[in-house]
A = this chain, B = another copy of it.
């Protein structure tokens, strides 16, 4: 994993792949690498769909090793959704496979001469880029089926659906899971539109003949991974809650906390919550012959995913994530799991971010295009996006565009990106992250819900502004570092609570690379990533005024708590003072 594969899609005579050593980027991986590449190489004022933007795909430091949970792939670019820097990451198989193929990153560059679509095949024998317009407008599922027919099933795929081809700002990059289903997504910020603008439909990875990546110190590495696994297994969230019920175990918890955004952030509790909770979902899956505990990549031991099947036992989609169940469920007033699963399936097939699309449909409902709670109407709206009708293109460009086009005032976005599944008035700490993250509203960027609600990493009153900035700051720094390791962010529960698990993570990196990093180095890594990202955004024209929640969170009290967002602007502005 010591080289970068650059593919110039605009090269004279057709797309051209070149390999180069890491050079200045030595020691970087995952988000650290994608954000460094984007910050250093992309003009912050360029058009996100133009020749000057680049799409960087990078496994993490420990991807492709035997370390558990190391399957995240970072995808970075200038975001068509926010206009700022973007790193979205995904589970699934590609990160491990790409790492074993020896690549620290693939960078898609330049601008194709026409709208020919390409597939990129990468194996031990090299890189092959082939025009293939027969792939045009295929959904991710049909696409992967077709690719399997051609390349067999010892592969992993990174692909876009019709949304990416149509360059929609909510378009995702799909990654296949262990069963070669395109159901893991780098969802946020329109990274799929940039892949579409580069004319690349799918990157097929085949690591046949390649070995597991070898640590410098195998003995120490084995020891550290053992402690690592023990730590994850013994923590209540990673060892019990997530395996049993998946991420949607949160639905009842957040609803109970009165911070479960309902009907476009109008309320903090959803009357239909119990019908769509993780418990109900797991029970439904199991009863129908689906699976409630399943990993998305080899080496996953948390297994928060699962398989959602219909009433006849046929696969519909993966176990729908908490954020998606919320976005298409509570936020749209929909309490029917089957409809929500269908919406998830359609999102994955079209290649759309489920959070953005749920938020968008809720804004469309507020605009009067459908009634809150009307699942059939929601499915039809999403199908418009898949077809690329004018209405569908509006929706596929996300909540901010939809709000603007239909003249809606209550549009829950920061930096143009929709807020996820926690009301910032009911969980003030996550509001700080939404407001200040260089990514736009993003719960994963600094998951203050952990400490505000779950009592992980300490505890802090979610309804009070005090301490929230410091909490979000520390979490944003730690997250940026974790996002560079290839580790699934869910390891953070154990890492935050158990010093020996945190140490095991550092030990694994040290043993693998022959380093002597300390906890301070990890903090410095996180800071340096955020600094790169903030620097890019500043050069793209972002200021403190962009680090703000929409007006209505400051003016409309959340009913259950009768509370607005309380953290002062001047305090938000201290977040990156460290």
Contacts and interface: CB of A to CB of B under 8 A. Distances in A.
Contacts of A52: 551
B550 A545 contact: no
Nearest to A400: B404
Interface residues of A, number: 41
Interface of chain A, helix or strand or loop or mixed? loop
Counting chain B CB atoms within 10 Å of each CB, which of A46, A193, A390, A543 scores highest?
A: A390
A435 to B, nearest CB: 12
Contact of A393 (B47, B405, B409, B552): B405
Contact of A406 (B393, B407, B539, B545): B393
B540 A545 contact: yes
B551 A45 contact: yes
Contacts of A540: 545
A90 to B, nearest CB: 22
A480 to B, nearest CB: 24
A50 B197 CA distance: 36
Interface stretch (A99-107, A134-142, A162-170, A447-455): A162-170
A404 B169 contact: yes
A546 interface: yes
A44 interface: yes
A162 to B, nearest CB: 12
Nearest to A416: B404
B166 A407 contact: yes
B409 A404 contact: no
Contacts of A389: 390
A403 to B, nearest CB: 9
Contacts of A541: 542-546
Interface in A399-437: 401, 404-407, 409, 411
Contact of A545 (B47, B167, B539): B539
A407 B390 CA distance: 12
A293 interface: no
Interface string A195-235: 01100000000000000000000000000000000000000
10 contacts: A45-B548, A47-B552, A169-B404, A390-B405, A393-B405, A394-B405, A401-B401, A541-B544, A542-B543, A543-B543
